[in-house]
Amino acid sequence: MKVLVAVKRAIDPNVKVRVKADGSDVELNGVKMALNPFCEIAVEEAIRLKEKGLVSEVVVVSVGTSAAQEQLRTALALGADRALLVETSALLEPLNVAKYLSKVIDQEKPQLILFGKQAIDQENNQVGQMVAQLIGSGQATYASAVNHVDGQWVVEREVDGGSQVLALAMPAVVTCDLRLNQPRYASLPNIMKAKKKPLEIIAADTLGASVKEHARLLGVVPPAVRKAGINVGSVAELVDKLKNVAGVI
Amino acid sequence: MTILVIAEHDNKALAPATLNTVAAAAKIGGDVHVLVAGQGADAVAEAAAKIAGVAKVLSADNAAYAHQLPENVAPLVAELGKGYSHILAAATSNGKNILPRVAAALDVDQISEIISVESADTFKRPIYAGNAIATVQSNASVKVITVRATGFDPVAAEGGSAAVEAVGAAHDAGISSFVGEELAKSDRPELTAAKIVVSGGRGMQNGDNFKHLYALADKLGAAVGASRAAVDAGFVPNDMQVGQTGKIVAPQLYIAVGISGAIQHLAGMKDSKVIVAINKDEEAPIFQVADYGLVADLFEAIPELEKLV
C-alpha cells in the first residue's frame, strides 16, 4: 500500500512576522523557512504506518518553487522513500494546488493521502478537502488517530465539542491535527542518506490541470495595536478596575 | 444578490455561530437564505426562520446528512449554491470541513475566516497567526466564504418570519460513514460564545488544579479555556484549547492564568475587549497584551479573586 504526503514550505513558526513597509505583503526575504509544522505531523504519521507494516511506500509531494526541494529533503531524511516537486513560481491559490495534487494522485494511485490540517502562513485550511472533492474520495480532517480496519481507514477527528470517529473507503484523504503524533528529528546519517533518495521535478504546466486565478491580494496591514495596559498591585485593585473602570464584571 | 448561509447545528439546536454568519451576509447585502441540512432537524429550521433578516430557509432532511458528512453535504450545497452570489458558513470545525469541498465542486477558490466585509467581493482576513491582516478581492463567480464569528456581532435570533421550504435532493456518496463520537459535557457557556473566558496554562501544574478556575468561572458565568501547553500536558481535553489551532474567542473579558502568551495562543484571544493576565513571571509576554496585569502566585490570587467578585 502506498501513502502520499503533501507538504509545504512555510515560514518557520518561531519567526515573528513583519508586514512590509509598502503594505504589499509580509516580509519573506531572508526569513527562515521550514516544513509547515502540520505537514511534519503528516510525514511522521506516514512513516509510523510504514513502521507498522501497513504501508510499503511513502511518497512526499510539494507544489512550489525549486526552494521547496529543501523541505522535501527534510521529509526524505525523516523516512519518506521518494519525493516529487511540482514546480511553479505562480502564487499558490489553494484550488490550483489541489488541482496539481489531484493530477499527481491520478498518476501515483496512493491508498491514503495525508495533509497537514492547515499551513501556518496563509491559514486557509482548504487544500486537503479540495483534493478529496476533486478525486472523489472521502475525507477525515483534523485527525488525532489513524487506523486501518477491514479495508477501511478509521480515523478519530478533533471537532468543536469533542471527538468523532469516521470510517472511510480507500483511497481516502486525511488531514492531520496537532495531537496526532510527536514528529521525530532527522538524524545526521539519515540527512546524508536523504541526499541520495530520488527527488523528481515535474513542471506544473505539464500536468494538464485547468488552473485559474481567483483572488487578488490588495494589501496587508499589521493588526491593531492594543494600548498599553497597567499592572495592578493586588487582587482587590484588579476587581475594582474590572468593576468600576472596565465595567466587564 | 442572494446569499446562502449554511446553518451550524446538531440536529436539535441552531448554534449561535450561525447568527454571526448571517450578520456577515447582511453586511454583504442582498437576500439571505439559510440551508439546514440534517436529519430530524425541524426545530433547527424553525429557529433559522426566526432569525432577523432571513428571507427563506431551505430544509434538507435526510439520513445522509445526519452527521454532516462533507462527502454528502458538499454536493447538496454545491447544487443549491449555483444560483447564489455568495455561500457562507461559520468557520467552525464543521464549516471548515465542508466548505472547501463545495468550492472545489463549483471550481472556485474559497476565502477562509473573514473578519470583515469591505464590499461584495473584498474581504479582510488574518494570516500568519493573526500577525497580519490581508485584504483580498475575489473574482469567483460564486464567492465561497467561511466567517470568523468573533469578527461579526450576531444578528437577533428572533424577529424574522421566513418561509421554510423542503429540499428533496439526497446525496449519499457512500464513501464515508459515521462510527461514533464523544462530546464533552459542560454546563458552562460555550467557549466561543461566552462573554467571559477564564483560561489556564502550564502554570496550573495539573488537571486537578483547574477546579480553582472552574469555581471562579461559575461565579462569573464564564467559560473555561486552556493553552496548548495545558492540553498537551493532559490537564484538560483539547476542545478547550484557545489559539491558532484551537478556538478563536473574543469575549468582553479574558482572564489568562498561568499562561505565558505564545504567539499561537495570542492568535486565539487578542481581540478580547479586556485582557487580564495573572502570572508570577513578570517577563511573560502575556503582559504585553494585557490591560490589567497581576504579578502573583495564581494559587493565592485565584481563590481571593473568586471571593471578591
Report residue B243 as a C-alpha cell: 489559539
CA–CA distance, A173 with A182 (Å, rounded to integer)? 20
Beta carbons of B179 and A138 less than 8 Å apart: no
Angle, helices A127-135/B70-81, rounded to nearest 10 degrees: 80
Q: According to the model, what pLDDT value does residue B169 have?
A: 83
Beta carbons of B296 and A235 less than 8 Å apart: yes
CA–CA distance, B278 with B259 (Å, rounded to integer)? 8
Going from the C-alpha of A226 to that of each of A165, A167, B47, B289, the distances in angstroms are 41, 46, 37, 7
At B25, which amino acid appears? A
Mean pLDDT of the A105-134 span: 98
Report residue A69 as a C-alpha cell: 526541494
Binned at pLDDT 50, 70 and 90, residue B300 comes out as very high
What percentage of chain B reaches a pLDDT higher than 70? 100
Nearest to A216 among B136, B264, B270 (CB): B136
CB distance A94 to B109 below 8 Å: yes
Per DSSP, the residues of B29-85 read: -SEEEEEEEESS-HHHHHHHHHSTT--EEEEEE-GGGTT--HHHHHHHHHHHHTT-S
What percentage of chain A reaches a pLDDT higher than 90? 93
Residue A228 phi/psi, 5-degree rounding, is -55, 140
Q: Where are the alpha helices (DSSP H) in A66-126?
A: 69-78, 94-108
Report helix, strand or coil for A235.
Answer: helix
Mean pLDDT of the B258-264 span: 95
Asked whether the CA dihedral A190, A195, A200, A205 is positive or negative, the reply is positive
CA–CA distance, B140 with A122 (Å, rounded to integer)? 19
Binned at pLDDT 50, 70 and 90, residue A228 comes out as confident
Q: Which of B182, B250, B71 is nearest to A141 (CA)?
A: B71
Report residue A51 as a C-alpha cell: 513502521
User: Cell 511522521 appears where?
Assistant: A44
Beta carbons of A16 and B232 less than 8 Å apart: no
Beta carbons of A231 and B293 less than 8 Å apart: yes
Beta carbons of B133 and A127 less than 8 Å apart: no
User: Cell 461559520 appears where?
Assistant: B90
CA–CA distance, B247 with B194 (Å, rounded to integer)? 12
pLDDT in tens, B105-125: 999 999 999 999 999 999 999
Chain A neighbors of B140, CB-CB under 8 A: 214-215
Minimum distance, in Å, between the CA of residue B42 and any CA atom of chain A: 22
Minimum distance, in Å, between the CA of residue A97 and any CA atom of chain B: 11
Chain A neighbors of B228, CB-CB under 8 A: 178
CB distance B115 to B151 below 8 Å: yes
Going from the C-alpha of A58 to that of each of A54, A55, A73, A189, the distances in angstroms are 11, 7, 13, 19
Going from the C-alpha of B123 to that of each of A156, B111, B233, the distances in angstroms are 34, 8, 38
pTM of the model: 0.96
Mean pLDDT of the A23-38 span: 96
Report helix, strand or coil for A74.
Answer: helix
Nearest to A126 among B110, B181, B296 (CB): B110
β-pairing, A82-87 vs A9-11, is unpaired
pLDDT of residue B156 exceeding 90, the answer is: yes
Q: According to the model, what pLDDT value does residue B184 have?
A: 85
Mean pLDDT of the B159-186 span: 94
Nearest to A95 among B104, B131, B304 (CB): B104
Q: Which of A117, A135, A214 to mutate to test the interface with B (most CBs of B within 10 A)?
A: A214
CA–CA distance, A245 with B65 (Å, rounded to integer)? 49
User: Cell 470510517 appears where?
Assistant: A167
Indicate the range of A166-170, A225-229, B133-137, B258-262 predicted with least confidence: A225-229
Nearest to B122 among A19, A126, A218 (CB): A218
Average pLDDT of the residues of chain A: 96
pLDDT in tens, B174-212: 999 999 999 988 889 999 999 999 999 999 999 999 999
Q: Which residues contact B309 (CB under 8 A, 6 or more apart)?
A: A239, A242, A249, B216, B219, B220
Classify residue B97 by its DSSP letter: H
CB distance B205 to B230 below 8 Å: no
pLDDT in tens, A107-121: 999 999 999 999 999
CB distance B89 to B98 below 8 Å: yes
Mean pLDDT of the B16-24 span: 97
Beta carbons of A238 and B294 less than 8 Å apart: yes
Q: According to the model, what pLDDT value does residue B170 have?
A: 87
Report residue A205 as a C-alpha cell: 504546466
Q: According to the model, what pLDDT value does residue B185 have?
A: 84
Minimum distance, in Å, between the CA of residue B50 and any CA atom of chain A: 25
Mean pLDDT of the B28-56 span: 98
Chain B neighbors of A22, CB-CB under 8 A: none
Report helix, strand or coil for A78.
Answer: helix
Q: Which of B86, B248, B16, B245 is nearest to B151 (CA)?
A: B248
CA–CA distance, A190 with A208 (Å, rounded to integer)? 35
pLDDT of residue A91 exceeding 90, the answer is: no
Report residue A166 as a C-alpha cell: 469516521
Q: According to the model, what pLDDT value does residue A249 have?
A: 86
